[in-house]
Structure 1
């Protein structure tokens, strides 16, 4: 039944080779037209059921204030369906005195573990929306394990400037210019805001006159403000810290200035041995090659990293930066471009290797070119199925393309090889003419080619349906590409390759027959 359906198609295409070739070119044109609509993402997801949230309050916020705000955030996360566990860390300093004056006291970090079966992207977007409704809770930054394998999950803009003022201006300009990007979940900067701190500058001469050193003054000041740690005491299996004194709650600069410091001459105000001023201090400073740097990170909210990267580059080109400042796009955007370039180079190398092997096998430079025609038509089905399933073109998809180079050529090889065998003389009888050899060869190879393709397609179907668990972020795009490429290349191999073979080898046969007719008996 398959042969009865296939032979009329084969005969019709053999009679109308021009129409067949034009149709093939139209298919290739349609393939090229689909490419701009194809989303690209190096690794669309790592399959990890976890993400982290950083909650940042106004610089200078106390540990108690941050803890209260983090508690409200934790309640929101606990009430969100699909979240299994939440781990909270507030601040980053040890000890009561250090925590009160550490820049990390205004930062809370959450590690969120989700249900493995939950839609991770939808869940993260839902969490973003819920946290945005919180009042007086600071700003939130959500990051997932999307990158994986050493890759970044954000598009980064690295800003450099010779002086801090220019860096802050450039950072503000780029940060403002990147707001409202389609496909961006959030835009954040690592340039630390200035935090108000009280600076105590010891007057060494006055301290010596009072019989104190800088270290002694710092110790006395710390002991007056906070209880002095004096080890731990154990009751049963529990350890409890031992603190000496109660400390003094400082609520104003004037109170700190009049704080009494014990000396050999008696207690004196702090201002007698030191100056006390409020200053603005950055929480952190980053530099590269002697220049201050800042990094703006843009977190994609969907799988189309390529389109977002292009939009970021366009917007960045239209932003006016201060003199001496520069901004470059990096992160996931650069990694994707570099990886795609390497994989496309590998793809061309694979095609070249296959061609060389086939030249040695068929002892012809032309017939291998006919076989290679099936490769671009494999891209037709691969790209179409990626668009239908809304899976972005990424690293797994391109690996699937590399696999297709060998798979689809195999079908064409078994077809052309049998046609060549039918044309050879056998047992003293001449070989078949080109047209007859094509008909017999295509008829005989129809079933094996279809069975091979269908076996591969059915074997990859579970992977294409995402039934492989957390590894689906790699296996599913790969399987979709191979299945789509096999469908289109197999159909076109059975139709287009015989037409091209007849156009090339048919003319050779006609020339050989004319030469034989002109040879005198």
Structure 2
């Protein structure tokens, strides 16, 4: 080939090219963003809106329903679902994959503005949030102090830590949780105020209108135009106390009418770090920023801040994404290095020539550096999947170089001059390796047309493998001939291994000769072996993505709906006792009330406690995170009246393993069905913690207005609701600006009016006549039970039953659940049950990747047809593809690995790899036939001649992936199934192909010759 001649006879110029590549590659690597996963774009957005004091049914009617209606009119919407709970609603809008989510989020905000007037006036503006794993906080920290003074900690976080971290390059937002806030509390007694002829509403209005600085225009004085303004803003709490209030009895100071004190707001959320009161904060990075670099800069800034903070304060890291990224990348890199060394060992054993080994060994770093350049300019990031792609490509990177080097080495041993051997050796097999590389690369083309989560995850991996193979092709065609022409030397004598290999070669020649004597028996025997292996399919389970041990465990504990924050905190103390006894726990961060920073939610959840537990590193414990979670789960079962779930190995983008949706209209019927489903799936092996999204035991107080009585007094329902609202939650009349902070001025009635249902009935409502009427005179007040949460999907009510699984694959668990539900539950008319969660994601991914696999097989055939300029020989080579099934099934069974998305991607890659050896073999058979040899003689010569390069390329690929197939280190769980499929599939297919493909070639060629004879005769 001309390019081989150029590299051989222009060594200085080609050396400059290599140096240039290394420099550009190192710069590209330094500037590649580092992240845990590729930048994923989920076609899901959420609308959150709060409505303090409203129950789930009112939230559903007043908030969820109108928002759902307008969201359903957006283009490309697949489904709209909502969750209505006490105090707020969460509306989820799912779009079709490929939708421009920036534009869709903008359209959602426009729809919200259009429906804003239909929502209650007191409801704050709804928020539109995007779902994106890159928005998950990269760090979560807690600040504690020996003094346990939350105000002191709050000031440290808000005034020192947050401003410093906001200035760190790459930081998008610093969110503080659990902070203590001050307020000016004005406590009023409506009965006492009535003696002065003033109401709470009037008092609220006076406070609000007096606390202002207002511009009033301008005047001219001494030829100057001077602006004027009225200064009336409160400057201190004393200004509030001394505010004059006109009443029917005269003008009184505000503190004569109400009690005024500066205090701490009643919090709906508390935070604790290892049992100590804490202020937590989380940090989000900017889109596209380098996670590792951002976290490094944050830690550097924190180290500077610690010198300025009081000695009693301590900042503890709860979650550090960069730490897991570094550990995972380190594990993958070590696997790459070990795989490279194993590949080099194979080269040395076969060639027994250190120079030849180094020549091929150098092709690996040169190929990787070239791949980094291509990754940088294509906008990829350095993450688990792109690095996994490079790790998968390490063994394949040397395949092209091995074929060329081995051919040059063989010609050199036959006596050709060094440069002539380099040129001729490259020319002889250059076409074959281009074809084999293209067949491997082309299998990834269908992934471009696949949509969904699996495609988004594995497109970067496909690009990384593609780039590494294209780089290896460049290296094989240019760098290897150059280095071979300068440094290669022939071996003076054969090593013991080479002598043994010659014996193997003779043995293979004899077996090949025997197979060609009985070609039909050989073909039938191979097909029988394939059929027998298919019997193992029922014993292979299925999964979506493998669990990842990130040394992190989450606990969510719920008391019965309506439980107070204090009751939830007391329950958490029992959980703390269990956690303290678990040796694998490094630290725990507790949020009482609400949710953690990794969950989107709306409404109040004072009955909920959330734990973020950091475990000791994986190499310091004998149990996996799933086993630690199961241990904690068993110990927490003894805590009464608490619904506790424990989870681990959450990737951040996959749903619960088991999700069963029960759809209908009547909440009591849905509740009964959900209880039946929970009872059924609880008995299924492997199912853990089945829970329902519906709980109708939410205590509430129902106030039924007697409109006839109320109208007699001139009192309306809205006035009654306003008075009750002031009694139960009060109003924020204004704010006090002091020392750079704004403190709410909170006006509320004395607790005696909201302490009990009886006390609530004694609240006085002022009629237009001035008469004070007790609430119980115009309304019936009673306790009731209502739902704590109402879930809807596509405007139909539904209950979601979810569960996790342990020590069993997802596919078999879902199959058992389907069977039991079908046999044991009779659905009423108008109700149905559907399956979602990881099962839905898995089925979608399997369907799309199976289609991609079928298309890849067609593309591989088309590439070979173009290379051979024939449909006949590619057809023969394609017989090697089904042979991989034998190894795949054996590998999955032996390693107890279920079939998942990673395994399917491994099959996709294997489709392109497995034909390479057959291409090299068939290409050489054709070459010998063109020189005048008979088909049988050509096969018997080509097989042993090409045995060495075939075994070398197969073994380097297999051994290069051995470390990944064992799953050593953090973050290798996703690549492990791919490596297992390729290692076992290629191993079995290689050895069977060495006999089966020549036999098929012989059978079809003989039939072809007979047809020619019949036509000519």
> Could you say which TM-score interval applies, normalised by the shorter chain?
0.7 to 0.9
Q: Which residue of 1 aligns with 2:783?
A: 278
Aligned match of 1:486: 986
Is it true that 1:302 corresponds to 2:807 in the alignment? yes
The aligned residue for residue 138 of structure 1 is 642
- Post-superposition shift, 1:498? 1.1
Structure 2 matches for 1:96-111, cutoff 5 A? 104-111=605-612
The residue that corresponds to 1:321 in the other structure is: 827
2:1005 and 2:724 map into 1 onto residues whose CA distance is 97
User: Corresponding residue for 2:937?
Assistant: 436
Quick check: 76-85 or 23-32, which moved more? 76-85
414-423 or 114-123: bigger deviation: 114-123
1:82 aligned onto 2:584: yes
Q: Is the 8 A contact 1:59 1:103 kept in 2?
A: no
CA displacement at 1:145 relative to structure 2: 5.4
CA contact (8 A) 2:550 2:970 kept: no
Which of the numbers 397, 412, 417 marks the counterpart of 2:923? 417
For 1:75 and 1:32, the matched residues in 2 are separated by: 51
Q: CA offsets, 1:368-403, max 9 Å, x none?
A: 222111111112212212222222211111111111
Q: Deviations over 1:331-384 (max 9, x none)?
A: 221221121111111111111111122223334333222211111111221221
Q: Cα 1:262–1:479, aligned 2, differ >3 Å: closer, same or farther? A: same
SS in 1 for 2:590: strand
Query: Which residue of the partner structure matches residue 851 of structure 2?
Result: 345
Match of 1:162?
A: 665
- Alignment partner of 1:473: what SS? coil
Q: SS at the partner of 1:113?
A: strand
Give the alignment partner of residue 699 of structure 2, picking from 196, 200, 212.
196
Contact 2:626–2:649 (CA under 8 A) maintained in structure 1 = no
Q: State which of 885, 890, 910 in structure 2 corresponds to 1:384.
A: 890
Q: Is residue 2:575 matched to residue 1:73?
A: yes
Does the Cα contact within 8 Å between 2:892 and 2:898 map onto a contact in 1?
yes
> Counterpart of 1:111 in 2: which secondary structure?
strand
For 1:201-220, what aligned pairs fall within 5 Å after superposition?
A: 201=704
Within 5 A, what are the aligned runs for 1:142-291? 142-144=646-648, 146=650, 148-149=652-653, 151-201=654-704, 247-248=751-752, 253-258=757-762, 269-291=774-796
Instruction: Measure how far apart 1:28 and its partner are.
Output: 0.5
Contact 2:696 2:785 in 1 (8 A): no
**Contact 1:170–1:322 (Cα < 8 Å) also in 2:** no
Question: Following the alignment from structure 2 to structure 1, what is the Cα–Cα distance between the partners of residues 641 and 572?
Answer: 8
Task: Tell me if the contact between 2:884 and 2:989 (Cα under 8 Å) persists in the aligned partners.
Answer: yes
Out of 959, 965, 968, the position equivalent to 1:458 is 959
Q: CA deviation at 1:210?
A: 7.6
CA 1:249/1:50 → structure 2, altered by over 3 Å: closer, same or farther? Answer: farther
**Residue 205 of structure 1, CA deviation:** 7.6
* 1:474 aligned partner: 974
The 1-side partners of 2:739 and 2:582 are apart by 39
**Greater Cα shift, 212-221 or 157-166:** 212-221
How many residues are aligned here?
A: 501
> Once the 2 structures are TM-superposed, how far is the Cα of residue 49 of structure 1 from its aligned partner?
3.5
CA distance in 1, matches of 2:651, 2:828: 33
SS in 1 for 2:543: coil
User: Following the alignment from structure 2 to structure 1, what is the Cα–Cα distance between the partners of residues 583 and 742?
Assistant: 37
How many angstroms apart in 1 are the aligned matches of 2:683 and 2:607?
27
Report what 2:194 is aligned to.
Answer: none
DSSP 3-state at the match of 1:43: coil
Does 2:497 correspond to 1:4?
no
* Distance apart, 1:173 and its partner CA: 2.8
Distance 2:668 2:857 in 1: 54
Shift of 1:198: 1.8
CA shift for structure 1 position 148: 4.3
Instruction: Say which SS state the counterpart of residue 158 (structure 1) adopts.
Output: strand
In structure 1, distance between residues paired with 2:650 and 2:519: 49
Of 360-369 and 249-258, more deviation after overlay is shown by 249-258
Q: How far did 1:254 drift?
A: 3.9
Cα pair 1:379 1:485 within 8 Å, conserved: yes
Corresponding position of 1:119: 624
Match of 1:39 among 541, 544, 556: 541
Once the two structures are TM-superposed, the CA of residue 76 in structure 1 deviates from its matched residue by 1.6
1:53 shift after superposition: 2.4
Take 1:2 and 1:184, find their aligned partners in 2: how far apart are those partners?
53
How far apart, CA to CA, are the structure 2 residues paired with 1:415 and 1:490? 12
1:292 equivalent among 778, 786, 797: 797
Distance 2:851 2:975 in 1: 22
Structure 1 residues 437, 228: closer, same or farther in 2, change over 3 A?
Answer: closer
Question: Per the alignment, in what secondary structure is the counterpart of residue 486 of structure 1?
Answer: helix
Give the whole-Å Cα distance in 2 for the aligned partners of 1:353 and 1:222: 69
Could you tell me how far apart the structure 2 residues matched to 1:10 and 1:304 are? 42
- Provide, for residues 268-311 of structure 1, a one-character-per-residue CA deviation record: whole Å limited to 9, x for no partner: 75423543211222222223444321111132223511111211
Partner of 2:912: 406
Separation (CA, whole Å) in 2 of partners of 1:320 and 1:30? 40
**Structure 2: how far apart are the matches of 1:4 and 1:20?**
23
Quick one: distance in 1 between partners of 2:635 and 2:735? 42
Quick check: 1:434–1:509 contact (8 Å CA) kept in 2?
Answer: no
Residues 74, 459 of structure 1: alpha-carbon distance in 2 compared, 3 angstrom cutoff: same
Moved more, 502-511 or 489-498: 502-511
Contact 1:28 1:380 in 2 (8 A): yes
Moved more, 413-422 or 234-243: 234-243
Question: Once the 2 structures are TM-superposed, how far is the Cα of residue 234 of structure 1 from its aligned partner?
Answer: 12
Deviates more, 1:395-404 or 1:106-115: 106-115
C-alpha deviation, 1:411, in angstroms: 0.3
Q: Is the 8 A contact 1:50 1:113 kept in 2?
A: yes
- How far is 1:500 from its partner? 1.2
Distance 2:581 2:725 in 1: 41
What whole-Å deviation, never above 9, does each CA across 1:165-207 have from its counterpart, x for those lacking one? Answer: 3323332332333221112112111113231212334567877
Larger deviation, residues 75-84 vs 377-386: 75-84
Structure 1 residue 69: deviation in Å?
Answer: 0.8
The 2-side partners of 1:107 and 1:130 are apart by 19
Counterpart position of 1:60: 562
Give the direction of change, closer, same or farther, for the CA distance of 1:210–1:354 in structure 2 (3 Å limit).
same
Instruction: Measure the CA separation in 1 of the matches of 2:591 and 2:711.
Output: 43
Note if contact 1:155-1:330 (Cα within 8 Å) is conserved in structure 2: yes
What is the rounded CA distance, in whole Å, between the counterparts of 1:23 and 1:405 in structure 2?
A: 22
Q: Distance in 1 between matches of 2:772 and 2:720?
A: 12
Question: Secondary structure of the equivalent of 1:105?
Answer: coil
Matched, 1:15 2:517: yes
Aligned counterpart, 2:899: 393
Structure 1: state its 5+ residue gaps: 94-101, 426-430
CA contact (8 A) 1:227 1:246 kept: no
1:91 corresponds to 2:599:
no
**TM-score, with length taken from structure 2:** 0.45
Q: Distance in 2 between matches of 1:460 and 1:288?
A: 45
CA–CA distance in structure 2, aligned partners of residues 148 and 377 of structure 1: 37
Check the 8 A contact 1:82/1:114 in 2, yes or no.
yes
Contact 1:42 1:336 in 2 (8 A): yes
